[in-house]
Amino acid sequence: MSSLADRLNRARAGRFVGRAAELDLFRSVLRAEDLPFAVIHIHGPGGIGKSTLLREYGRLAAEEGAPAVYLDTQTFEPTPEAFHTALALHLGTAPGTDPVANFAQRPRPQVLLLDTYEAALPLDHWLRDSFFPQLPADALVVIAGRFPPQPAWRSDPGWQSLLRIVALRNLSPEESLDYLDRREFPSEQRGSVVQFTHGHPLALSLVADSHSNRAEGVFQPEESPDLIKSLLERFVQNVPGPGHRAALEASAMVRMLNEALLAHLLALPEAHEIFEWLRGLSFIESTPLGLMPHSLAREAIASDLRWRNRERFAELHRRAREYYGQRLQETTGLEQQIVLYDYIYLHRDNPVVKPAFEFKTASALRSETARTEDAPQLRALVERHEGAESAGWFDFWFERQPERFLVVRDGTETPAGFLALIALSHADPADLRRDPATHAAWSYLERTTPLREGECATHFRFWMSRDDYQQVGPVQSHIVVAMVQHYFVTPGLAFTFVATADPDFWDPAFSYADIARIPATDFQVGGRHYGVAGHDWRKVPPLAWLALLGERELGAPAAEEATLPPTETLLVLSQDEFEAAVREALKVYTKPDLLKQNPLLRTRLVQERAGATSGKAERADALRALFKEIAQAMKGSPKDLKLLRPVHYTYLAPLDTQELAADRLGLPFSTYRRHLAAGMKRIADLLWQQEIGD
């Protein structure tokens, strides 16, 4: 009985055109008695038809009696373990079995097709030097990606003779006409389409899709230096309805689009039907994490929306931030890292952020607390990049705070990088004074903004990639995500410092992210100067910080700088000042105009409850709500209830005089006053614990 897969293959084959030379090459290899080479490496720009050709290779291999195994490398993490698991799944074997042994039992020759190879670049050396050599001699591997083979392929004498490189080009005019014929495009318009698209496969597909969405009409191409953008604009103009256009725009805003996110972006109760429509478009890819437009399509749709309807762009941006902000509070661990990466992706076109973050592959790594056996390798990284004296300080802190070292792994034996998150508030003061980095940071805190009881501070003392040190790349970007995650998961976090060996490069991005350069905390080790930047999380807490970055993104033109007018700075009250403010707030609880003047309205606690953009009235309401919640919680404890009752009858639901309140409680006036003071202090203590994050 025919399966859906059979129908899909027939439909794809019915639309496949051209590539005669590439198909002949593949057939000749399959039919050769001895394979002339082991790897075909196909490369070409996005939209050129690499994935389509690989699917056709798979169909031809099946016809030749050698069913191919197809792996899209962007659908799993680029680690040997994940590769083995994915291969075992496609071979139909249990995870953990040897995929090479199973692969060798398949009909000869064996064919392995690896698509989107740019996503597997962290695995390239392992595949080239370890995995591929284990395959049977008559195995054929076909790689398809955007980039030519890495230099190591061409410099190895063995691979030089076993590698065939194919650069994929546009379709010829004849092939383009054939494609349009198969798409039943009006014959009288095909010539102008071919002239307009120059045979670019994605462009041809977009023209055909656009025509199929129109009941009638004539394609009238206009000269344009940006072919894909022009075609997408035409496509968007001819979608079935405004909801479909909005869905396309939403898909271009975010990194991955699932059904729940689409519903939130479009403010719909459910979005299943329109999500399925998106899924069926030729330039929308389905991945395990959701839908993803082709990169050229994403860029064209997003830039067009931002130019055409900036208010709509800003609204989608705001809704995406809102969705991710909620998810950040609901997730932990790896899932939270993915959400953070999605959030940062919203800033991908910002001229300040873009040079400082690798958006394509930063999520393809994993991190974990360092093990004892990692120490020698991490020390070697520090010594190689920073010198022997700095390596000595690595030893110093790893011995004292090993649990504060986060290792980034890419599936190889050697750590791909690491981050040290030194807990200044938990360290011995004598130790802080010994290291010039922590001494400068701690002295600055003591001098300017001392930590309050229950608060902590972190110094990102070391951070580096194995191969690129602190240069922009996948490991560096993964470390940035780990830093941001630390802001959200650390109770009582008051301040963070980050040291860089090249502050001139990092200062613009740090400044944009409200992480200000603090020259007083710079230090020297081994003759090298390190610049330090920091952020006070009591003044701008994590959620408010994300909101600030979002507004900066929308307020920043595509120019050299991205700035916002100064925002109101939060107060960092000492515990005594906080308690005094609580007492004053209780006294004016029923007087809104006076409550609006209370210092508590500018604390992190109230701002997070009311929202970063709230006014005094909203914050006063939020403070009253906090008092009500504390009162409700105190009713659950007989001891707290005894202290709450005088506060209730004096301030929350006041009687005319304190004497009447004491009489209502049946207490001597002196006892009533003592209980009232104790009750106010108890409320202040409970609110204080929330203020410092406990």
Question: What are the sequence ranges of the domains in the chain?
Answer: 4-167, 173-237, 242-346, 366-555, 575-691
Please give the residue that has the higher pLDDT: either 196 or 545: 545
> Which residues on neighbouring strands pair with residue 535, listed in sequence order?
496
Query: Same fold for the domain at 4-167 and the one at 366-555?
Result: no
Q: What is the pLDDT of residues 181-198, one digit of tens each?
A: 888 888 887 887 787 677
Query: Which one of 3.50.50.60, 3.40.630.30, 1.10.3720.10, 3.60.20.30 gives the CATH number of domain 366-555?
Result: 3.40.630.30
Query: Is the confidence at residue 215, as pLDDT, over 50?
Result: no
Buried residues in 385-402 as b, exposed as e (16+ CB within 10 A): bbeeebbebbeebbeebe
Round to whole Å and give the CA distance between 255 and 581: 44
Round to whole Å and give the CA distance between 394 and 147: 38
Model confidence at 96, pLDDT cuts 50, 70, 90, reads low
> Which residues on neighbouring strands pair with residue 369, listed in sequence order?
406
Instruction: Compute the average pLDDT of residues 96-116.
Output: 78
**Span of 10-19, 81-90, 181-190, 527-536 with lowest mean pLDDT:** 10-19
Please give the residue that has the higher pLDDT: either 288 or 525: 525
pLDDT of residue 289: 82
Round to whole Å and give the CA distance between 119 and 112: 17
Using a cut of 0.75, tell me whether the model's pTM lies above it: no
Q: What is the pLDDT of residues 667-684, one digit of tens each?
A: 999 999 999 999 999 999
- The runs of H, that is alpha helices, within 213-309 are 227-237, 242-253, 259-266, 272-279, 295-308
Exposure of 65 by Cβ count < 10 A (0-12 exposed, 13-18 middle, 19+ buried)?
A: exposed
Query: Is the confidence at residue 219, as pLDDT, over 50?
Result: yes
Round to whole Å and give the CA distance between 103 and 99: 6
pLDDT of residue 228: 55
- Closest-CA residue to 103 (of 79, 142, 138, 65): 138
Query: Is the confidence at residue 345, as pLDDT, over 70?
Result: yes
Instruction: Compute the average pLDDT of residues 3-9.
Output: 57
Instruction: Compute the average pLDDT of residues 352-358.
Output: 79
Instruction: Compute the average pLDDT of residues 51-72.
Output: 89
For residue 676, which phi and psi values (nearest 5 degrees)? -65, -45
Q: Would you tell me how many other CB atoms lie within 10 Å of the CB of residue 67?
A: 15
3-class SS letters over 367-390: EEECCHHHHHHHHHHHHHHHCHHH
pLDDT of residue 101: 76
Which tokens belong to 49?
């038809």
Superfamily covering domain 4-167: P-loop containing nucleotide triphosphate hydrolases (3.40.50.300)
Q: Give the 3-state secondary structure of residue 79.
A: coil
pLDDT of residue 484: 92
Round to whole Å and give the CA distance between 282 and 212: 12
Q: What is the pLDDT of residues 126-163, one digit of tens each?
A: 999 999 999 888 889 999 988 889 888 988 888 988 99
pLDDT of residue 189: 79
Residues with Cβ within 8 Å of 256's Cβ and at least 6 positions away in sequence, in order, are 287, 289, 290, 291, 292, 342
How many DSSP H helices and E strands does the chain contain? 33, 15
Q: Give the 3-state secondary structure of residue 507.
A: helix
Q: What is the pLDDT of residues 450-509, one digit of tens each?
A: 888 888 999 999 999 998 999 998 899 899 999 999 998 898 899 999 999 999 999 988
Instruction: Compute the average pLDDT of residues 239-248.
Output: 87
Query: Is the confidence at residue 223, as pLDDT, over 60?
Result: no
Q: What is the DSSP string of 545-570?
A: HHHHHHHHHHH--SSS----PPPPPP
Q: What is the pLDDT of residues 293-322, one digit of tens each?
A: 876 677 778 877 888 888 999 899 999 999
- The runs of H, that is alpha helices, within 387-473 are 388-400, 429-434, 436-448
The full length of the chain comes to: 694
Query: Is the confidence at residue 561, as pLDDT, over 70?
Result: no
> Which residues on neighbouring strands pair with residue 287, listed in sequence order?
290
**C-alpha R_g of the chain:** 31
Query: Is the confidence at residue 389, as pLDDT, over 50?
Result: yes
Model confidence at 275, pLDDT cuts 50, 70, 90, reads very high
DSSP state, residue 121: G
Query: Is the confidence at residue 20, as pLDDT, over 80?
Result: yes
CA-CA-CA-CA torsion sign (132, 136, 137, 140): negative
Q: Would you tell me how many other CB atoms lie within 10 Å of the CB of residue 327?
A: 18
pLDDT of residue 569: 60
Pairing of strands 69-72, 110-115: parallel
Please give the residue that has the higher pLDDT: either 232 or 582: 582
Which residue in this structure is represented by tokens 């389509």? 52
> Which residues on neighbouring strands pair with residue 682, listed in sequence order?
none
Taking CA 162 as the corner, what is the angle to CA 157 and CA 164, rounded to the nearest 5 degrees?
115
pLDDT of residue 566: 37
Model confidence at 567, pLDDT cuts 50, 70, 90, reads very low
pLDDT of residue 527: 93
**Span of 37-46, 223-232, 336-345, 400-409 with lowest mean pLDDT:** 223-232
Q: What percentage of the chain carries pLDDT values higher than 90? A: 42
Which residue in this structure is represented by tokens 């010594």? 383
Q: What percentage of the chain carries pLDDT values higher than 70? A: 88
For residue 166, which phi and psi values (nearest 5 degrees)? -125, 120
pLDDT of residue 1: 53
